[in-house]
Amino acid sequence: MPFRITSTTLIDLLNRFGVRGERFFSLAETIQPVALVDSSITIESQTGPTLGTPVTAGEVASGAAGGAVMADTGALAAGTYLVRVIGGGHPVATFSDFRLQRRDAANAANIWAQYLSLEPNANLFFDFEARVTIADQERIRVVVGTVVTTGVFQFNIWTEKID
């Protein structure tokens, strides 16, 4: 689906390159590196996290109790982390819910949590990526909210310390 370009900075850039008329763009699944050389425009590159081995409980099938840990980073050293959480699954006939949690150093309470719910017979795909500042010994984890009576689920957590 083409989108109209409305950014005046981008339109100014296209005008400098001699692109005229209606300007539309479409998003593609492939990322193409591009170099623009102009004295008044700077575009900084960004790289994603280096994905090593995730922490996970693996595929968890029917019978996971409420509070069951799906993935847990364990205690982390203080710092800023790139955190990536990917989860997926399919409940066959029951409602399911999960919690993405940042836990305190004693692993006794949530500092924050995100609720994820899933209706019966619906597929789950969850992809969360953020920079998170962690105090010493805090952790990130995903737990089951309500008992998973049917279906198969898996959550993976990757962390990369960046500061």
Query: Is 117 inside a domain boundary?
Result: yes
DSSP string computed for 35-87: ----TT------------PPB----B-TTBPTT-EEEE--S--SEEEEEEEEE
Range of the domain at 152: 69-161
Reported as a pLDDT band with limits 50, 70 and 90, residue 134 is: very high
pLDDT above 90 covers what percent of the chain? 36
Q: How many angstroms separate the CA atoms of 83 and 81, rounded?
A: 6
Report the pLDDT averaged over residues 111-117.
90
Residue 68's pLDDT is 87
Report the pLDDT averaged over residues 75-101.
86
More confident residue, 38 or 106: 106
Residue 78's pLDDT is 97
122 has pLDDT over 80: no
Total tally of structural domains belonging to the chain? 1
CATH number for the domain including 153? 2.60.120
Reported as a pLDDT band with limits 50, 70 and 90, residue 55 is: very high
